[in-house]
Amino acid sequence: MTTTATRPIGARPRAAIDAKTLRTDKWWIAPLLTVIGLTAWVAYATVRVFMHKYFWVEDYHYLTPFYSPCVTDRCADAGAAEFGAILPNWWIIPDAAFSLPFLLLFRLTCYYYRKAYYRSFWMSPPACAVPDGHKTYSGETRFPLIFQNLHRYAFYAAALISVVNTWDAIKAMHSPSGFGLGLGNIILWINVLCLWAYTLSCHSCRHIVGGRLKHFSQHPLRYRFWTFVSKLNTRHMGLAWTTLATLAITDFYVMAVSAGWLNDLRFIG
């Protein structure tokens, strides 16, 4: 680049096109589906978290992920307080008060969910080449959105909570006569695997395991981790939605068995 056809003379007008967007495809479908999907899930999760019952199946030790780790007196009464009962029973305190806020923060600051809700709820922008609905825009440079940079810490917490979920799945291999295996176990394990895949496919994780390096050749092991996480990372969006589905299905199944609406299909025990 050495010369320009015209000399820059301050701010000059853009093409005067009246239509806000000339896109003819159905660009509004994706944000609409996102709004419907996320709203429905948040509504279901909120109801379940504050229901304070049907979270534990005594016979098979099934614990729903929405109540894990269960830390209120209510959990101790039910026999589900694997890590001790620390908090009192008060309806406003979720029974998994130590994990849910971090999981919420993890998903809120997730690079995929940010795209999803900025586009759908905040319309900034609703779709590519469609004007955003705001007069001014400062992005993530100021309070409160500058806190999106905390994603990494939420990831650390989410990884710890995934360990707890794995422990729950192991403990659930149980029946009144000892070892047990039922449809609930398979659902719990699928959920745990999907949660691990989603957590490890996180962009922050990709950076931490190796993305921050300048010389991959000097760190072959971390390069292999990075390659693995990069492969998962390309599916981050898919995993984000899959885990919402597996969480809701797992929770619903445990609720249904706990409330007696369904009998768990048992293979062993």
Q: Does the protein bind another protein through residue 121 (CB under 8 A)?
A: no
* Residue type, position 63, single letter: L
- Among 49-57, 92-100, 200-208, 255-263, which window interacts with another protein (CB under 8 A)? 200-208
Q: Which of 103, 119, 240, 253 binds another protein (CB under 8 A)?
A: 119
Q: Does the protein bind another protein through residue 177 (CB under 8 A)?
A: no
CA distance 130 to 266: 53
Closest distance to another protein from the beta carbon of 164 (Å): 23
Q: Label residues 205-223 b or e (16+ Cβ within 10 Å = b).
A: bbbbbbbeeeeeeeeeebb
Specify which residues 120 forms β-bridges with: none
The conformation of residue 13, written as its DSSP 8-state character, comes to P
Total length of the chain: 269
- Among 95-103, 109-117, 184-192, 238-246, which window interacts with another protein (CB under 8 A)? 109-117
- Among 33-41, 77-85, 135-143, 241-249, which window interacts with another protein (CB under 8 A)? 135-143
Q: How far is CA 240 from the centre of its chain?
A: 6
Q: Does the protein bind another protein through residue 26 (CB under 8 A)?
A: no
Closest distance to another protein from the beta carbon of 207 (Å): 4
3-state secondary structure 26-91: CCCHHHHHHHHHHHHHHHHHHHHHCCCCCCEECCCCEECHHHCCCCEHHHHHHCCCCCCCCECCCC
Q: Which of 233, 243, 246, 250 binds another protein (CB under 8 A)?
A: 233
Closest distance to another protein from the beta carbon of 36 (Å): 19
Q: Does the protein bind another protein through residue 221 (CB under 8 A)?
A: no
Q: Which of 32, 131, 231, 249 binds another protein (CB under 8 A)?
A: 131
The footprint of another protein on this chain (CB under 8 A) covers a number of residues equal to 61
Q: Does the protein bind another protein through residue 140 (CB under 8 A)?
A: yes
Considering the complex, state which of residue 27 and residue 44 has its C-beta at the smaller distance from another protein.
Answer: 27
- Among 37-45, 59-67, 112-120, 159-167, which window interacts with another protein (CB under 8 A)? 112-120
Q: Show the CA angle centred on residue 59, arms to residues 53 and 64, nearest 5°.
A: 40
CA distance 176 to 174: 7
Q: Tell me which residues touch another protein (CB under 8 A).
A: 1-9, 11-17, 19, 21-25, 111, 114-115, 118-119, 124-125, 127-132, 134, 136-141, 145-146, 149-152, 203-204, 206-207, 211-212, 214-217, 223, 233-234
